[in-house]
Amino acid sequence: MTASIDSFGALGLSEPLLAALADVGYESPSAIQAACIPPLLAGHDLLGEAQTGTGKTAAFALPALQRLDLALRDPQVLVLTPTRELAIQVAEAFQRYARKLPGFQVLPVYGGQGMVAQLRQLQRGAHVVVGTPGRVMDHINRKTLRLDTLQTLVLDEADEMLRMGFVDDVDWILEHTPAERQVVLFSATMAEPIRRIARRHMRKPQEIRIQARTATVAATVQKYCQVAAPHKLDALTRVLETEESLDAALIFVRTKTATVEIADKLEARGYAVAALSGDLTQVLRERVIDQLKQGRLDLIVATDVAARGLDVPRISHVINYDVPYDTEAYVHRIGRTGRAGRSGTAILFVTPREMRLLGTIERATRQKIEPMALPSRAAVADRRVAQFREQVEQVITGEDLAFFREVVRSLVSREDANLEEIAAALAFLAQRERPLQLPPAKGPDIADAARSMRPAPARSPSRAPAAKLAEGGALQRYRIDVGRQHQASPKDIVGAIANETGLSGRNIGRIDLFDDYSTVELPAQLPAEILELLRRTRVRQRPLGLRPLTPAEAEAAVKAKPAGRAKRAPAGKPGKAGARKPAAKKAGRRGGG
C-alpha cells in the first residue's frame, strides 16, 4: 500500500496542510503516515503499533486538522500524552501543521503549569487540547473542559501511560467522551491492558503495525552538542573550523528555505558550499554532487529527501543542524558517512527543548550519543594559528620564493628594519580575511552559554539518569512536603517522580502518606541534579521539597500512624498499589503530569 505513495498530495490532504508541510520541509510521507492518514481521514478508529520516532505525530495530527470545523471554537480533538514534555511537543507539531489554517488554536494542559492560564485559554476556545491524563481529568471534573463537540481522541504512547499507572485515568476519560467519536491509539507494544481499552472503547479499529528500521552505521562516531537556536550558525562554524580530519561535510536542515539561507551565510564566511533540496533539477543536483566529489565544494546543506542515495567518499562528517522529527531520518542522514569500511563522524545540534528527541533517537537506535563541548573562542584561534603555521611551512618547502626573498631583502635594507617586525606585518596582511585573533565577544561566549544550560534532566523524562540510578539497587527513604491534607495520592507521587526522572517502577519503593508530608523509597545517593529537580517538582501545586529522611525523622515516621500506605506495584502491573482507588471514584486527581 505505502510503496506507491511518494507525496503527501497523494494522501488526499487539503491544500493548506500541503502548503504548511512544504514550508516545514516535509517532502514525502513516512511509512506510518502513508498507512494511517487515509483511514483516519475516512473516520475509522485506528490501533497503531509503532515506535516513537517513526513520524506518528503527523500521522494523527494531519487528518485531525483536516476534519476540524474552524468556525467552532470548542475542543474537537483531544490528545492524551504520558508526560508534559510530550504534550508540549505534540502541541507544537499541531501548530506547525496548522500554520495555514486561519484562527486555529491548540492548548497544552499539564500539571506544574498554572491553572489560571489554562482556564483563561479554555474560556477563549481551543480546537485541539493536548494534555496529560491527570490535568485533563481536573478540567473535566471542574467542567472547564467540555467534550460535547469532540470528534477525535488520540492516546499517544499508550504503553508509557500504562507504565506510569494512568490506565484507570485513561479509561475514565474515555467514558466521558461522546459515543460517536473517533479513537486513535498508538503504542510501541500492545500489552493486554491496552488491548482491553481498545476492545472497550474502539469500534472495529483498523490495525497498523510499523517496524522501525534503526540499524545505524557502526563505523560512525555519534556526538551531540547542546546549543541555543540563535547560536547555531556560530556553533556550526566553530565545529567546522576545529573538527579533526574534516574533509567534506553534509549539513542537514529541515526545510528547503533553510538550505539556501545557511548555505549563503556559510559562503559569506568563506566556505565552499552549496544548497541541495528537492527543488533542484536532476541536472543541477548532479552538478553539485560532482563538484563535491572533485573538491570544488567542501560543504553541502541539504534536506532529507535531497540527500537520499548520495554516496561521496569525501564526506567525513554529517552535521544535523536541525534534529530530524523521526529516527529513521536520523539513520538515513548519518548513513551518508562511514560507508564501505570508512570511518565517519555524525554531530547533532540539540536545543534545550529538543533533549527529549535526543533520548528518543538513542532508544530507537540502541546506541549512546556522546555529548561534546562546543569549541571555545580560544580553541578556534589555536586551530587557525596551527593551520597558518602549517601553510607557511608548506610554502617554504614547496614554492619558489626567490622573487619574494628579494622583496623581503629590500624591506630589511632600511635602517630601522627589524626582520621580526617585517614578518609580523606580512602575517598580519595574510590573515586579514580570516583573522587569527577573533574579535572580542559581545556578551558571554556561546561555548560558556552552552555549558551553563540545564543538563541531562531535560533529556526526555530522562532515561539517562534512570539508567544511571538503576545500577545501585539499594533504596533509601526520602521525605516530601505533600500529604493527605493536600489531597495527594500515591499515584500522584509516582507519576511526578517517574515523569521528571524516567525512573521505572522497580526504582520506586514504599510510599507512606501522613497528614502534612509523605515518605518515599528511592535509590540511595541520588545525584545532586536529580535531587534538585525533585525538590522543585510539584504535586497538587506544591513543590515536593524532596530530601533524605534524617534518622530522627525516620524514627518518628515509624512511630506515627500513616494516613495512607502504598507499596509500589511490581513492574508491568500499574494500578494495583495498596492505597489506590479507581480514578472514577475520586474527583480532581492528578497523575503527576
pLDDT digits (tens, 9 = 90+) for 29-53: 888 899 999 999 999 999 998 766 5
What pLDDT, on the 0 to 100 scale, is given for residue 394? 84
Give CA–CA dist 91/37, Å, rounded: 19
Does pLDDT of 592 surpass 70?
Answer: no
- Assign 3-state DSSP to the chain and report helix, strand, coil percentages, each to 5: 45, 15, 40
Give CA–CA dist 165/132, Å, rounded: 12
**In which band, very low, low, confident or very high, does the pLDDT at 322 lie, cut at 50, 70 and 90?**
very high
Handedness of CA 257, 327, 13, 11 (dihedral sign): positive
Give CA–CA dist 319/513, Å, rounded: 50
What pLDDT, on the 0 to 100 scale, is given for residue 495? 79
**In which band, very low, low, confident or very high, does the pLDDT at 440 lie, cut at 50, 70 and 90?**
low
Q: Are the CB atoms for 347 and 320 separated by under 8 Å?
A: yes
**In which band, very low, low, confident or very high, does the pLDDT at 569 lie, cut at 50, 70 and 90?**
very low
Give CA–CA dist 369/348, Å, rounded: 9
pLDDT digits (tens, 9 = 90+) for 511-529: 989 988 999 999 887 887 7
**In which band, very low, low, confident or very high, does the pLDDT at 591 lie, cut at 50, 70 and 90?**
very low
Q: What is the dihedral of CA 191, 196, 198, 199, to 10 degrees?
A: 140
What pLDDT, on the 0 to 100 scale, is given for residue 580? 35
Give CA–CA dist 270/476, Å, rounded: 57
What pLDDT, on the 0 to 100 scale, is given for residue 577? 35
Pick the CATH number of 220-376 from 3.30.360.10, 3.30.460.80, 3.40.50.300, 3.30.465.10: 3.40.50.300
Does pLDDT of 499 surpass 80?
Answer: no
Region(s) of the chain under CATH 3.30.70.330: 462-585
What pLDDT, on the 0 to 100 scale, is given for residue 264? 94
**In which band, very low, low, confident or very high, does the pLDDT at 128 lie, cut at 50, 70 and 90?**
very high
pLDDT digits (tens, 9 = 90+) for 162-178: 878 888 899 999 999 99
Give CA–CA dist 86/557, Å, rounded: 37
Does pLDDT of 307 surpass 60?
Answer: yes
| 474 or 500, which is more confident | 474
Phi and psi at residue 471, to the nearest 5°:
-70, -30
Specify the amino acid at residue 283: V
What pLDDT, on the 0 to 100 scale, is given for residue 397? 85
| 145 or 554, which is more confident | 145
What pLDDT, on the 0 to 100 scale, is given for residue 263? 94
What pLDDT, on the 0 to 100 scale, is given for residue 383? 75
| 582 or 337, which is more confident | 337
Question: Which of 82, 438, 37 lies closest to 208 in space, CA to CA?
Answer: 37
> Looking at the domain that runs over 462-585, which CATH code has it been given?
3.30.70.330
553: exposed, middle or buried (Cβ count in 10 Å: 0-12, 13-18, 19+): middle
Handedness of CA 580, 532, 364, 590 (dihedral sign): positive
Does pLDDT of 330 surpass 90?
Answer: no
User: Which string of b and e fits 322-342 if b means at least 16 CB within 10 Å?
Assistant: bbbbbbbbbbbbbbbbbbeee
What pLDDT, on the 0 to 100 scale, is given for residue 193? 84
Does pLDDT of 593 surpass 80?
Answer: no
pLDDT digits (tens, 9 = 90+) for 358-379: 888 887 777 889 999 888 777 7
- Class for domain 8-209, per CATH? alpha beta
Q: Are the CB atoms for 97 and 21 separated by under 8 Å?
A: yes
What pLDDT, on the 0 to 100 scale, is given for residue 52? 63
484: exposed, middle or buried (Cβ count in 10 Å: 0-12, 13-18, 19+): middle
In the chain, the percentage of residues whose pLDDT exceeds 70 is: 82
Residues 62-83 have a mean pLDDT of 94
pTM (2 d.p.): 0.53
Instruction: Round the average pLDDT of the chain to a whole number and report it.
Output: 81
Specify the amino acid at residue 5: I
Phi and psi at residue 84, to the nearest 5°:
-65, -35
Give CA–CA dist 65/98, Å, rounded: 7
Q: Are the CB atoms for 2 and 80 separated by under 8 Å?
A: no
Cα 420 → chain centroid: 53
What pLDDT, on the 0 to 100 scale, is given for residue 454? 45
> Inter-axis angle of helices 31-41 and 56-66, to 10 degrees?
20
Does pLDDT of 568 surpass 50?
Answer: no
Does pLDDT of 57 surpass 60?
Answer: yes
pLDDT digits (tens, 9 = 90+) for 450-488: 665 544 443 433 333 443 444 456 888 999 999 888 888
Written as one string, the DSSP assignment of 23-51 is: HHT--S--HHHHHHHHHHHTT--EEEE--
Q: Are the CB atoms for 564 and 579 separated by under 8 Å?
A: yes
Residues 325-343 have a mean pLDDT of 76
The x, y and z cell numbers of residue 156, run together, are 499517544
pLDDT digits (tens, 9 = 90+) for 202-235: 999 999 987 655 555 566 889 999 888 888 998 9
Region(s) of the chain under CATH 3.40.50.300: 8-209, 220-376
Count CA atoms within 13 Å of residue 100 on its CB side.
15
Phi and psi at residue 499, to the nearest 5°:
-65, -40
The x, y and z cell numbers of residue 461, run together, are 523524562
What pLDDT, on the 0 to 100 scale, is given for residue 423? 81
Does pLDDT of 404 surpass 90?
Answer: no
What pLDDT, on the 0 to 100 scale, is given for residue 450? 61
Other C-beta atoms lying within 10 Å of the C-beta of residue 504: 17
